[in-house]
Structure 1
Amino acid sequence: MTTFVLVPGGFTGGWVWEETAARLGRAGAETHPVTLTGMDGLSGETGIGLETHVEDLVRLIDGLAAAEVVLVGHGYGLHPVLGAADRRPGRVARIVALDTILPQDGEPAERSVPDPGGRAGADGRVPPPTRETRSRWGDLEGVPEETLVRLERLAVPQPADTLTAPLRLTGAASALPVTGVLCTAAGSSVAMVEMLVESGPPRFRALADDRIRFLELATGHWPMLSAPAALAETLLLAAAGEGRRVTAPADERPTHFRPFLEGVRDVPEVPRERHGRVDLHLPDAEGPRPAIVFVHGGPVDPDQRPTPRDTPFLLGYGRLAAGAGAVGATLDHRLHGLADYALAADDLAEAVALVRADPRVDGERIALWFFSGGGLLTADWLAAPPPWLRCVAATYPMLAPLPGWEAVEPRFRPVDAVGTADGPPVVLTRAGREHPAIAATVEEFLTAAGKRGARVETVDVPHGRHSFELLDPTEESARAVERAMAAVLALLEE
């Protein structure tokens, strides 16, 4: 008989698991839906933090007769689950991460779960989402309206320290089997995990470990409310070790370490100067020159080395711009988590001011070129474009937060900003083999641009993947980069 400990996400208690627990019970499993300290809506206890909730689970595990348990964590609940597994690794048969990113040591919950709503009240608690702020729950696909009403009625404030305290792990549970249950209606999928693994950062490459398996569930982020029967079946499969393994690519180099258009185009070096967060790639040309500021994607691990501006990717684009007679500016911004877009936007604004102030730059002829997850940063510039901004370029961009990215502030939605102001033209490069969730945001953006009369020039790479300049170094890729660069330079000269 399998014993499940079911730990809910923020603002909720064990009641969210009622139907799933009942179905698991009928299948012969023992279930323990958990209401963590302070989450019953009755207790006025203070001083509750993440460590309190870790201790809740440790005490529960210690009191169970089962030799081993399966710990299931949803949203915030995965943080105390991992903390408890770290304390009692010998009692844990498997960890199930239910539509939630595996956090790392030192990472607070507020960086990896849907937006907790920001500020705690005077009582030190963060108020729960309401009907007006339902997006803070994450994707609610499939949840019946009456269940949503109940969710909002029973939701309770979350002690702020549970969201802001760093998760502390010793590594004692690092060998435990893990199953990620991916809710596809919320944007998670095995294909998305494969893309992350291929991208190369260590935290994503770790998902290719043989101890990790993945199962998909065709519903939204709250399957215990939208599809309890299917979730129960999926949890039983997880406990049995079923699921797909994601493997690392044969080329072990992280994507961002691979050469720029390797074997297809030789991009000569140019003089480069470092100014704080910004590097200037300087052309061999007289007089103030137009500038292109290249904005990398993310989130990027803060410990990544080399940092983005020193990778072959940004070096390649900076040198291309300089070789064509423009100043190519690259920067490292602080997009280290989904809640960091405002920080990254500040870094970008500071970088643009620095570039425009340089005497070798024509400050009235500036283009901004965004990549991947950095695409969300276009929103500010599309909503309130300055007169000196001649062009916004975006290559395989995300143009709306992906499903499950509720930690991203609503301000960063380019699909809502495009065409709302008399802004500069957009040069948009699309990868034909783009991940469906990202491609959907591009199509939504183009539809909005068409309705609002925004000027968008598209450059297509039919056989290219996300990061095609590194993953697919072909003539098609090289020509697409050159077409996009020519389009941007032409707009700078208008």
Structure 2
Amino acid sequence: MTVFVLVPGMFTGAHVWRETASRLTAAGAEAHAVRPTGLDATLRRPGSGRLDLETHIADVVAVIDSVGAAAEEIVLVGHDYGIHPALGAADRRAGRVGRIVYLDAGMASNGVPAVAAVPDRVLRERLTAPRGDEPPGDALPPPATPEEWRRWGSVEGVPGPALDRLTALAAPQPTGTLLQPLRLTGAVESLPVTGVLCTGNGASVELIQMRVDQGDPTLKELVDPRVTFFELPTGHWPMLSRPAGLADVLLRAAAGEGHRLTPADATEPPPHLRPFLLDVPEAPWERHGTVDLHLPESEAPRPAVLFVHGGPVPAGARPTPRDWPTLRGYARCAAAGGAVAAVVDHRLHDLDGYERAAADVAAAVDFLRADPRVDADRVALWFFSGGGPMAADWLDAPPPWLRCLAATYPVLGPLPGWGLTGGRFHPPRAVANAGALPVVLTRVGREVPAIAATVEQFLAAAEDCGADVEVIDVPNGRHAFETVDPTDASRDAVRRAMRAVLGRLGLR
């Protein structure tokens, strides 16, 4: 018999697993929901702020030890924060655990505390570096409203009564559980692993594969054949929004099913390094620090386009984005159309890097406009993919010299769980101040659902305020369609977007 040990996440107890556990039991499995001390309503006690990660690891170990020896396999499921005590327990009882399931949970590592996975950067900093007389306190207060729950992950699909119950039963999270480092001996490294990704919370197999292809060293272990993945089309709490679907996925995971990532093929370039879909001759180009300039055949000052890559891109990735075929291809197209084309390598290496990257983009704009070959009063900015949130700065207060803002398969708002809780990197809010600034948006029909939702939110906000937005659709295109879908329709979309941008710069 397969036995599932279900470990809840932040602020929650065993009650969140009730429906999923009943479905697992009905399918012939055995299910035990862990009741974390200080979080579960049945195990709360005064002074819970003194609890730490080891306390919750002991809770999980106790459940594993209570399972009869006849169990064929124990599948340990950790949701969100719950993956940390789950891994700690698996390390101590590796001989009894057959598989670990990361349920919409970040990667956890030896010596790293759970606070590193807290999405809210400001809260992370307050917990890890309290200032003066502002200690972090014994516990984090639980979310009290649906909006507060969204700071921790998407609540997509959670019925109203279930969300009310989640709020009513939520408990303060002892800070010791977040600040104590996870200690592993290495015993868990041989165990099979399954990741269950909730696409409504911004995760997907496609996005992880893209980061693996880009050479992210933190994800190398995910191409191990013992690692499988499933997707669920829902938010961060699938045990409340899709309990039947979650139970089915857990049963399939226990059976060894699931999608496996493709390791890098030394004989075939990864998708982001495949040839650009248009054959454009190389223009004269120059490298200036982090900015490349691709120059048109003209000595007179020319309009300019700055291309801003997406991300996050690992700091050690080589080649860097300005040498990727797609960005070089767009730059050559712009130069062939008579513009000075610039491509900047910015520092969006992780989700905490948006402020750094935005500063890099602003510096690149200043550098570009100061070049005597550039008409400083006619500049366009063109954002791609995860660079999209940085467009908010320019939409919110467009300078008179900014003649067009373009975005291609962009992320147009913080994805759930990203922790960008402020308003700065939120284009749907900023577009209300865009005035007459033209926006050219290339939208792909086979977009990652969570990214597509940000695009639709942006378009709805743009319509409400009467913003000037031209949408160029690629109905069958995927994210990064220029190299993964080099069809005639894709080529036409690139040409149309380029004509639209250059036209707004006065180049016909």
Shorter-chain TM-score: what band?
0.7 to 0.9
Aligned residues of 1:140 and 1:220 also touching (Cα < 8 A): yes
Question: Number of aligned pairs?
Answer: 490
TM-score by length of 1: 0.83
Does residue 253 (structure 1) correspond to residue 269 (structure 2)? The answer is yes
Name the SS for the 1:458 alignment partner: strand
Deviations 1:68-121 (A, max 9, x none): 521101112123333443554433201112233445667764565654872456
The equivalent of 1:397 in structure 2 is: 410
Q: 1:231 to 1:428 in 2, by over 3 A?
A: closer
Distance, in Å, in 1 between the alignment partners of 2:67 and 2:488 is 62
**In structure 1, distance between residues paired with 2:405 and 2:197:** 34
Contact in 2 for aligned 1:117/1:126 (Cα 8 Å): no
The alignment-based identity, stated in percent, is 58
- Worse overlay, 99-108 or 215-224: 99-108
2:164 matched to which residue of 1?
149
Classify the secondary structure of the residue corresponding to 1:180: strand
Secondary structure at 2:437 match in 1: coil
DSSP 3-state at the match of 2:505: helix
CA contact (8 A) 2:37 2:59 kept: yes
The within-5 A match list for 1:345-494 is 345-402=358-415, 404-411=416-423, 412-493=425-506
CA displacement at 1:312 relative to structure 2:
2.9
Shift of 1:135: 1.5
Q: Distance in 2 between matches of 1:399 and 1:192?
A: 16
Partner of 2:45: 42
Contact 1:273 1:281 survives alignment (8 Å) = no
Return 5+ residue gaps in structure 1 as ranges: none
Question: 262, 266, 284: which one pairs with 1:270?
Answer: 284
Deviates more, 1:31-40 or 1:102-111: 102-111
Q: Which moved more, 1:465-474 or 1:102-111?
A: 102-111
The one-letter code sitting in structure 2 at the alignment partner of 1:42 is: R
Aligned to 1:10: 10
1:295 aligns with 2:290: no
User: What is the CA distance between 1:368 and its match in structure 2?
Assistant: 1.2
Q: CA separation in 2, counterparts of 1:27 and 1:239?
A: 13
1:200–1:254 Cα contact (<8 Å) kept: no
Distance (whole Å) between structure 2 residues aligned to residue 329 and residue 216 of structure 1: 38
Amino acid paired to 2:390: L
CA distance in 2, matches of 1:418, 1:461: 23
Equivalent position of 1:225 in the other structure: 240
Shift of residue 50, structure 1, vs aligned partner: 4.8
TM alignment of 1:189-204, pairs within 5 A: 201=216
Pair 464,144 (structure 1): closer, same or farther in 2 beyond 3 Å: closer
* Matches of 1:484 and 1:211, distance apart in 2: 43
Q: Against the structure 1 CA distance between its residues 274 and 458, is the aligned structure 2 distance closer, same or farther, given a 3 Å change threshold?
A: same
> 1:117 touches 1:128 (CA, 8 Å); kept in 2?
no
Provide the secondary structure at the position in 1 that maps to 2:95.
helix
Cα separation, partners in 2 of 1:233 and 1:491, compared to 1, 3 Å: closer
Match of 1:70 among 50, 70, 75: 75
Distance 1:126 1:417 in 2: 31
Write the distance in 2 (CA, Å) between the matches of 1:164 and 1:12.
Answer: 18
- Shift in Å, 1:331: 2.4
Structure 2 unmatched ranges of 5 or more: 128-134
Give me the whole-angstrom Cα distance separating, in 1, the residues matched to 2:238 and 2:92: 28
**Worse overlay, 152-161 or 102-111:** 102-111
Is the 8 Å Cα contact of residues 73 and 79 (structure 1) preserved in structure 2? yes
TM-superposition CA deviations, 1:360-388 (whole Å, max 9, x none): 44433322110112112212221222222
Give the one of 72, 75, 94 matched to 2:99.
94
Report the AA paired with residue 356 of structure 1.
R
Q: Give the aligned partner of residue 344 of structure 2.
A: 331
Which letter does structure 1 place at the counterpart of 2:17? W
CA distance in 2, matches of 1:314, 1:300: 14
Q: Quickly say closer, same or farther: Cα 1:220–1:151, change in 2 above 3 A.
A: same
Instruction: Tell me the alpha carbon deviations over residues 434-491 of structure 1, each in whole angstroms, 9 at most, x when there is no partner.
Output: 3444334334433432332211223344453321222233554444333323322232
- TM-score, normalised via structure 2 length: 0.81
Aligned counterparts of 1:47 and 1:305: Cα–Cα separation in 2: 45
Provide closer, same or farther for how the CA distance between residues 472 and 15 of structure 1 changes in structure 2, counting only shifts above 3 A.
Answer: closer
Q: Distance in 1 between matches of 2:288 and 2:184?
A: 37
User: For the structure 1 residues 423 and 168, does the alpha-carbon distance in structure 2 shift closer, same or farther, using more than 3 Å as the test?
Assistant: farther
Q: 1:316 aligns with which of 310, 322, 329?
A: 329
SS in 1 for 2:151: helix
Q: Distance in 1 between matches of 2:61 and 2:353?
A: 32
Q: Check whether the contact 1:201–1:254 (CA below 8 A) recurs between aligned residues.
A: no
Q: How many angstroms does 1:265 deviate by?
A: 0.7
Mean CA deviation greater in 415-424 or 248-257 = 248-257
How far apart are 1:179 and its partner, in Å?
Answer: 2.4
Aligned with 1:464: secondary structure? Answer: strand
Distance 1:179 1:384, change over 3 A: same
Q: Deviations over 1:19-76 (max 9, x none)?
A: 4345545655444423445535534255655566456545664675547521101112
The AA in structure 2 aligned to 1:130 is: A
**What residue identity is the alignment partner of 2:6?**
L
State how far apart, in whole Å, the 1-side matches of 2:171 and 2:120 are.
Answer: 15
Q: Does residue 213 of the first structure (1) align with residue 228 of the second (2)?
A: yes
| 2:366 aligned counterpart, secondary structure | helix
Query: Are the aligned partners of 2:13 and 2:35 in contact in 1 as well (CA < 8 Å)?
Result: yes
**Aligned residue type for 1:255:** P
**For 1:168 and 1:274, how far apart are their aligned partners in 2?**
45
Q: Quick one: distance in 2 between partners of 1:486 and 1:107?
A: 49
User: Is the Cα–Cα contact under 8 Å of residues 178 and 211 in structure 1 kept in the other structure?
Assistant: yes
- Alignment check: 8 A CA contact 1:338 1:405 kept: no
- Deviation of 1:2 after TM superposition, in Å, equals 2.6
Residue 293 (structure 1) shift = 1.9
Shift in Å, 1:196: 6.3
CA contact (8 A) 1:116 1:126 kept: no
Distance in 2, matches of 1:124 and 1:349, equals 41
Contact 1:432 / 1:465 at 8 angstroms: preserved in 2? yes
RMSD over aligned CA atoms reads 3.7
Describe the shift of the 1:28–1:224 C-alpha distance in structure 2 as closer, same or farther (beyond 3 A).
same
1:49-64 to structure 2, matched below 5 A, reads 50=53, 53-54=56-57, 57=60, 61=64
2:130 equivalent in structure 1: none
Q: Any idea what SS the aligned residue of 1:148 has? A: helix
Render the CA deviation track for 1:261-307: whole Å, top value 9, x for unaligned. Answer: 3xx414415332232x4344445543544332211112222332222
For residues 216 and 298 of structure 1, the distance between their equivalents in structure 2, rounded to whole angstroms, comes to: 21
